[in-house]
Amino acid sequence: MNWTQSVFELIDMRSFSNLWFWIALAVLWSSTSHWVVGVPWDLIQRAARKGGQAMEDMQDLTRININRILYITDVSGLWLMTFACFAITTLGVLGFYYQIEFGQALFLLGLPMSIVGLLTIRTARKIRAKELAGDALVRCFRLHRIAIQIVAMISIFITGFWGMYQNVTVGALGG
């Protein structure tokens, strides 16, 4: 038995039948829902409840993250978009045309995350343009988080459905 056989025996490359894929999917969406434009959700809730120093901390962290996101977008956004589209398309072709399950799994993780990325850029631009602060900023974060959670629900449903389909058809064909 060579090295690659040992690795592929230890790590099942059939993503949808692998528990680690589903754990990674849950952690990905949990983290994405928790960090709203780079600001932790618990800080946003504390700022909404208590105001004062928590509100100032949230606004400072928001300013820092928005400046970072928009700087990266303005400086290298076209290159990042080109690379992301190339990567997503490559994964889609490998996964669904060439029937590589690992490509399907990464596509089903990457495409919704690219949508979240675009939503985040849009929200960052909106916050900067309207100079949102205080309760208006909290409201904007709540709406953005709801949008992320809607994308997450649709993504998890489609990924779960596709994963079950793959497991049934691969299992029926004898693996």
DSSP per-residue codes, the chain: --HHHHHHHHS---GGG-HHHHHHHHHHHHHHHHEETTEEHHHHHHHHHH-HHHHHHHHHHHHHHHHHHHHHHHHHHHHHHHHHHHHHHHHHIIIIIS--HHHHHHHHHHHHHHHHHHHHHHHHHHHHHHT--HHHHHHHHHHHHHHHHHHHHHHHHHHHHHHHHHHHHHHHHT-
Residue 16 — very low, low, confident or very high, per pLDDT cuts 50/70/90?
confident
For the segment 123-138, the average pLDDT, to the nearest whole number, is: 97
What pLDDT score does 174 carry?
A: 55
Residue 126 has pLDDT above 80, yes or no: yes
Question: In terms of pLDDT, which residue wins out, 130 or 19?
Answer: 130
Tens digits of residue pLDDT in 56-72: 999 999 999 999 999 99
Q: Is the pLDDT of residue 175 over 60?
A: no
pLDDT (0 to 100) of residue 169: 87
Q: How far is CA 24 from the centre of its chain?
A: 11
Return mean pLDDT, the chain.
Answer: 92
Identify whether the C-beta of residue 127 lies closer than 8 Å to the C-beta of residue 140. Answer: yes
Residue 171 has pLDDT above 70, yes or no: no
What's the whole-model pTM score?
A: 0.88
Residue whose entry in the numeric block shows the structure tokens 């080109």: 82
Contact present, 32 and 151 (Cβ < 8 Å): no
Q: What residues does each domain of the chain span?
A: 65-165
Residue 148 Cα distances to 24, 26, 54, angstroms: 17, 14, 23
Strand partners, 35: 40
